[in-house]
Each structure stands twice: as C-alpha cells, then as structure tokens.
C-alpha cells in the first residue's frame, strides 16, 4: 500500500508506531522521524547491548519477555514532530495500562 507521496507503507518516516511484547498484551508506543524498519531494530539493539534507556529494555529485563519487532506497525504518520508527539500521547492514553511506556507523553495545562 502506498501513501499520498507514493512511498510504500513502512518506507516513510515521521511515524507513530507500536511494538508489541511477545509474551503478554503490553505494547510500546513511540514516535520517530525515522522509518519503521529502523526504530524497532534500535530498540532490539538496546536490549541486546543492555542499554538501559527506554521502557522496552526495562520491560524485557524485569519480566524476562521478548519484544516482537516483526509485528511492529505504523499507527499514524505525520512529518511534523509536535503533531506526532500529540498523536503518540493520544495513543498511549487510549492503550492505558497495556502500554510499557515510561511516561504518558505530552501534558496539557487545562486551565
């Protein structure tokens, strides 16, 4: 399937994506300007190299689970970083306690 610019799905950057756990129902939701093929591989490398810098590593270490990079998927696409951050925040909130993210994304002062 191609997007509006003619790129095949997964070949475009500027995405909100998910990476599921192989052993339970939790999922990591992230945003990146990179392509889908790149970011989950980086998460997998972080786990392999024991880089304690993201929620995926923490989940894998604490639960002795594995991430499923093969089932990583694009949830939304936008080239604008702030828009992606808002979309990521919305997806994290929608997923609720089924997310392995460290934080809930952007916060809003509702005054």
Domain ranges of the chain: 15-98
Residue 61 exposure: Cα atoms within 13 Å on the Cβ side: 13
Please give the Cα distance from 60 to 49 (Å, whole number).
12
Q: What is the pLDDT of residues 12-38, one digit of tens each?
A: 789 999 999 999 999 999 999 999 989
Q: Would you give per-residue pLDDT tens digits along the chain (111 residues)?
A: 445 554 445 567 899 999 999 999 999 999 999 999 898 888 889 889 998 888 999 999 999 999 998 999 999 999 999 999 999 999 999 999 999 988 766 665 555
- Please give the backbone phi and psi of residue 75, each rounded to the nearest 5 degrees, phi first: -95, -40
Please give the Cα distance from 3 to 63 (Å, whole number).
37
CA distances from 42 to 90, 93, 111 (A): 23, 24, 38
In this structure, are residues 66 and 22 in contact, taking their beta carbons and an 8 Å threshold?
Answer: yes
Q: Say which CATH architecture domain 15-98 belongs to.
A: 3-Layer(aba) Sandwich (3.40)
pTM: 0.82
């Amino acid at each position: 399937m191609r997007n509006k610019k003619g790129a095949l799905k997964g070949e475009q950057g500027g995405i909100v994506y998910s990476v599921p756990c192989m052993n339970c129902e939790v999922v990591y939701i992230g945003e990146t300007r990179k392509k889908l093929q790149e970011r989950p591989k980086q998460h997998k490398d972080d786990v392999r190299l024991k880089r304690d810098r993201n929620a995926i590593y923490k989940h894998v270490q604490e639960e002795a689970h594995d991430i499923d990079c093969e089932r990583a998927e694009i949830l939304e696409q936008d080239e604008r970083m702030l828009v992606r951050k808002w979309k990521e925040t919305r997806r994290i909130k929608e997923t609720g306690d089924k997310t392995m993210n460290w934080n809930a994304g952007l916060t809003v002062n509702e005054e």
